Homo-oligomer: A and B are copies of this chain.
Amino acid sequence: MTRRPLEILDQALNGQPVIVSLKGGREIRGILQGYDVHMNLVLDNAEEEINGNIQKHGILIVRGDNVIYLSPSVE
């Protein structure tokens, strides 16, 4: 059975902690709160490691064209 990527986003990852890998080597963690067909993402409790420091954001809206991949954050 084939599963569409956006279905996976909806079923397996929505409301879950995820890691988002962005172009340019940036990586953001947060709780996936929403998305759309462009892979624009809404992350809650988002944080990003920059030069060893954790920068905390509240809600973060990521423009989809920056995304390389996302996966569940296991911890």
Contact = CB atoms under 8 A, between A and B. Distances in A.
A59 to B, nearest CB: 6
A8 interface: yes
Q: How large is the interface on A (under 10, 10 to 19, 20 to 34, 35 or more residues)?
A: 35 or more
**Taking the full assembly, how many copies of this chain does it contain?**
7
Contacts of A46: 71
A13 B14 CA distance: 21
Interface class of chain A by DSSP: mixed
A14 B8 CA distance: 15
Given A4-B34, A4-B36, A36-B5, A66 B66 contact: no
Interface in A16-70: 22-24, 26, 28, 33-36, 39-42, 46, 57-70
